[in-house]
Structure 1
């Protein structure tokens, strides 16, 4: 099981050669891959990161090379990386293609499911010569997932709306890892059709009638208070009237990386506060 830039394969194959006999110099363009490099014990191989990479704390001391879809190519090349890692997402293909043109090896896997995230960790572990650490990290995610499923297994499924933004309203739809996270946590995603991260109107929010609203709009500190208050539309929502609006401040919920199991536990505790989540 391996998702890489060139597709599924038995071994990770970056788009240009990485010398297996030497330790790579790594630039990471996404928070999740930065976390993965450090979690696998290869943080000392990191030479650059995107402006969004803020965990672990030590990563902040690394040189910034712009963002994920707008990286500073001159800054990246100046760091002489042997490997640039990112994720297969919006804009990722264009960034990867340009890096390939400079002769830089890249690893941009898909990370939109638990299986793909685990494959990313396994593939990155192979590229960084940290196979044992990758196996251990994936095993921990499996154990956390199984423990959560056991804790909520006998409880009623709650209809959940997971909100990522309020202006406009951006939510978790089907097909992404947040949708899978809701299912593992004993919930049912009320947004059952459309893209993985759709923008919807308040009228549809009301029609969906969730049992629980999870507000993970990190950039909007007062977002949960707005939902709970007399905001037009939201105040008519049953979940608001019954006090079932929960603020999600754990960044692990939003990151398809080594803390996936931690994010799942956070979601499970919010969906089923009556359960004992290990």
Structure 2
């Protein structure tokens, strides 16, 4: 591994590698200076810089997974390119089995869950995102949309009608130290530092999740990043849903 973005923190060795800018704004010159043999990129977010890297003769694997199974496919593609497919296959197979095990567990209620990504405007994962698939696999009943968009802006009245029993938001628990601001981050209000009080409002208080104190912060690595830790996050959420709504 030659370099990473400021947001790359797993495995721990990644934190010591050269930084090429923020995940949302990588710097082309810094990437080129590392002379990489392979660059991993997001097919949508990094389209322009990926094209420039390809024009410079650098191999780029660009992807935007729409499901958990897409993530496993991408892992295999990376391993194949690096010539370690046989060594990595058992690791990927184990991750697959853990995800499949969640899908097969019957016998408990699927709670109505709303995943709040942004509050202004109100944004949530849509059916075209791996987050939507991961939450469903973990046991959540999500809002139904007539679109395959990966991220969807919703209206307050839609949330009130859905009446989620659980709300998962980007942020931290009350009293928990806020994470440091990533280098290159230009946001004025960091959603990763929000607490439940920051999103509480008269409208939110009308829904079951707020009335019954089932509003939980989730860190980025729990459900937002398409890697091995996603399966850990899915298992934790599945366990939480089961404990809350055991029947």
TM-score (norm 1): 0.74
Report the equivalent of 2:142: 189
CA contact (8 A) 2:72 2:96 kept: no
CA contact (8 A) 1:158 1:212 kept: yes
Report the equivalent of 2:236: 266
Report the equivalent of 1:147: 101
Give the Cα separation in 2 of the matches to 1:250 and 1:82. 28
Deviation, structure 1 residue 126: 0.8
Give the Cα separation in 2 of the matches to 1:174 and 1:79. 37
Report the equivalent of 2:181: none
Note the aligned Cα RMSD (angstroms). Answer: 2.2
1:188-223 deviations in Å (ceiling 9; x for gaps): 112433422112232322122112211234634343
Report the equivalent of 1:98: 52
Structure 1 residues 124 and 93: CA distance shift in structure 2, 3 A: same
1:47-83 deviations in Å (ceiling 9; x for gaps): 1111211222221111111234432211111111111
Give the Cα separation in 1 of the matches to 2:125 and 2:103. 20
**Which stretch shows the higher mean deviation, 99-108 or 214-223?**
214-223
CA contact (8 A) 2:165 2:207 kept: no
Give the Cα separation in 1 of the matches to 2:28 and 2:140. 42
Report the equivalent of 1:163: 116
TM-score (norm 2): 0.82
Report the equivalent of 2:73: 119
1:26-59 deviations in Å (ceiling 9; x for gaps): xxxxxxxxxxxxxxxxxxxx11111211222221
CA contact (8 A) 1:88 1:111 kept: no
Structure 1 residues 200 and 238: CA distance shift in structure 2, 3 A: same
Structure 1 residues without counterparts, runs of 5 or longer = 1-45
Structure 1 residues 261 and 251: CA distance shift in structure 2, 3 A: same
How many residues are treated as equivalent by the alignment?
227
Give the match's secondary structure for 1:103. Answer: coil
Structure 1 residues 135 and 68: CA distance shift in structure 2, 3 A: same
Give the Cα separation in 2 of the matches to 1:108 and 1:83. 10
